[in-house]
Structure 1
Amino acid sequence: MLRWVAVGLVAGWALHPVCDRLGVVPPLVSAAQPLAMLLLAAILGYVAWVTHRAVHVRRERLESHQAVNRFVLARASALVAALATGGYVGYALSWVGDPAELADERMVRSLVAAVCALAAVVTGLLLERACRVHDDE
């Protein structure tokens, strides 16, 4: 997981200097990006809650394909959200001390998106944990 964050951090930090060297305007983080991460976190959180209640509270058995599908969804979402978290943090850090007109706005929006992506990582990990089945002796 930390490798994905590190890769995202480096890629996000490199985006600003690469855009400057190519003469391209660096991207601005829109409101849709953190909202998409929040939507992902909400969906994963709901599925984690439902799965936890079914498996650990009511002691129901999930069908094997349901358990695998939920686990794969959780793992993939957590890894991609970790990459996005690192990317947004790296992009925000690349704007620290920059005299550009929209530097502060880019930094703040990137940090907000990073927090939303981190929420998706946490809920993905919660769904992974909810899919675990404990052996009863």
Structure 2
Amino acid sequence: MAGNTEPGKTPRDKQEPPRPGSVRPTSRRLLVAIAVLGVAVGVTLVQAIESGGGVAPTVSWLTLVAWMFLAALLFAAARNTHQRIQVRRERVEPSRAVFLLMIGKASAFVGALCTGVYAGFALSFLQAMGSSGPRNRVIMAGAAVVISVLVVTAGLLLERACRIPEDPDETA
């Protein structure tokens, strides 16, 4: 028999099904798949716009500031929620906990998609880095990729902070 398990415990490599009313943690593989899909969307979008005679959009400073603000809010919410639920073990109203959990999950998904789209934008202009226009586009899109990854991270931290800690009395 592989692995030492106590009676009533499952080995770590086997996931037990979620309890009724519980939500599984966001899959990292799914986030990577969403980001890869975003890269394809970003590259295709730039090619479609330019083949139609248009000019591909650029990432503005305002976009970067807005994404940074969102990331900061999510990190603050994750820290506050972690302190309340995990550290101080305060009871949180269920509707608020569900709201925070869904905000965390949605932020991780949207952040992953935008990470991919911005990476697709950067890849589209990478071959023309010699001139200043494409170089600025690559730099701004690259900064947006980094900030989008921060949004994903903050969303995952918020989701994790919403976990109900195990009761030490029940595990005895």
- For structure 2, the 5+ residue unaligned runs are 1-30
- Return the structure number with greater relative CO, CA threshold 8 A, min gap 6: 1
Letter in 1 for 2:134: A
Letter in 2 for 1:71: L
- For structure 1, the 5+ residue unaligned runs are none
* Contact kept in structure 1, 2:121 and 2:138, CA below 8 Å: yes
Q: Is residue 75 of structure 2 the alignment partner of residue 75 of structure 1?
A: no
Higher helix share: 1
Alignment partner, residue 122 of structure 1: 153
Instruction: Point out 4+ residue stretches in structure 1 off by more than 6 angstroms.
Output: none
Alignment partner, residue 43 of structure 2: 13
Alignment partner, residue 43 of structure 1: 73
Secondary structure, counterpart of 1:19 in structure 2:
helix
Task: Report the aligned-residue RMSD.
Answer: 1.2
How high is the TM-score relative to the length of structure 2? 0.76
How many angstroms does 1:123 deviate by?
A: 0.4
Aligned-partner Cα distance in 2 for 1:23–1:101:
20
Q: Higher Cα Rg: structure 1 or 2?
A: 2
Aligned-partner Cα distance in 1 for 2:71–2:81:
15
Secondary structure, counterpart of 1:106 in structure 2:
helix
* Contact kept in structure 2, 1:34 and 1:117, CA below 8 Å: no
Aligned-partner Cα distance in 2 for 1:4–1:40:
20
Aligned residue-pair number: 137
How many angstroms does 1:16 deviate by?
A: 1.9
How many angstroms does 1:35 deviate by?
A: 1.1
How many angstroms does 1:96 deviate by?
A: 1.2
Letter in 2 for 1:56: Q
